[in-house]
Structures are given as C-alpha cells and as structure tokens.
C-alpha cells in the first residue's frame, strides 16, 4: 500500500473559493509581519474587529474601495503556462495559507486535490 503525501497541484482551488473556515481571517503574526515589511497593500485589505475580552478578528481580503469581502484571493495570478496559478505574495502570505490544507480530511472537504494518488494537473 503506497502512502500519498501532500503535493500542491497549483490548481488555485483554495484561493478561488475563500468560503472555507478561514473565510478571510489572518493572524496577529501575519499583521505584525506585514507591518514590519511595510506592506500597506496587504494591510489595506484587512479590517480588525474587536470581539471583546482582548479577542481580535482580522478580516481579509476586503475590497479597499467598498470594504466588502471578496470571493477569491486578490493575490492569485495565472501562471505563464496558463494551466496553473501562482501566489503573488507567496513569501509573505498568511499563516493559514501556508498550512492549507490542515490534513487529508480537510483537503477532501474543501476540494483540494493535493493528496490525489493519481494526480492530474488541471
């Protein structure tokens, strides 16, 4: 029996459909990193809500013009080959993007093909 490890297919499914449990939230560490890097472009797409008792929720990715949540990640780009996608903020992307999917079950539940035993690029 072969064990399949996660292998990102660069399909962009996780970036095109932000309705997952992470629906646009980023961590305190993400914000600190972006502030340190002077990434006003990223910070302009985040709104912090005070949930009380010292709990903050950082909503992203918002449209800076309207303040509305976007459906797809604004940092997603089509690769030059036209068949795959690239993250234009890969080196500084949110922590939850780095750890997506959490496990095989999470991948299956969100439609991520990264654990496919016979991968096909889409």
Indicate the pTM of the whole model: 0.80
Q: Is the pLDDT of residue 49 over 80?
A: yes
Whether 116 maps to a domain, the answer reads: no
Q: Is the pLDDT of residue 16 over 70?
A: yes
Q: Is the pLDDT of residue 120 over 60?
A: no
Rg (CA), the chain: 16
For residue 23, the model assigns a pLDDT of 58
Q: What would the pLDDT profile of 50-80 be if each residue is shown by its tens digit?
A: 999 999 999 888 999 998 988 889 999 999 9
For residue 20, the model assigns a pLDDT of 57
Say how many domains are in the chain: 1
Whether 52 maps to a domain, the answer reads: yes
Whether 26 maps to a domain, the answer reads: yes
Whether 89 maps to a domain, the answer reads: yes
Domain that holds residue 63: 13-110
């Amino acid at each position: 029996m072969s064990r399949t490890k996660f292998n990102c297919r660069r399909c962009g499914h996780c970036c095109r459909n932000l309705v997952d449990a992470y629906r646009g939230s980023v961590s305190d560490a993400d914000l600190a990193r972006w502030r340190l890097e002077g990434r006003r472009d990223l910070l302009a797409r985040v709104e912090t809500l005070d949930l009380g008792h010292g709990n903050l929720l950082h909503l992203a990715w918002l449209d800076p013009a309207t303040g509305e949540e976007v459906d797809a990640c604004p940092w997603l780009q089509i690769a030059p080959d036209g068949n795959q996608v690239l993250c234009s903020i890969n080196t500084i992307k949110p922590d939850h993007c780095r750890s997506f999917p959490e496990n095989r079950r999470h991948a299956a539940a969100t439609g991520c093909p990264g654990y496919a035993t016979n991968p096909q690029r889409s």
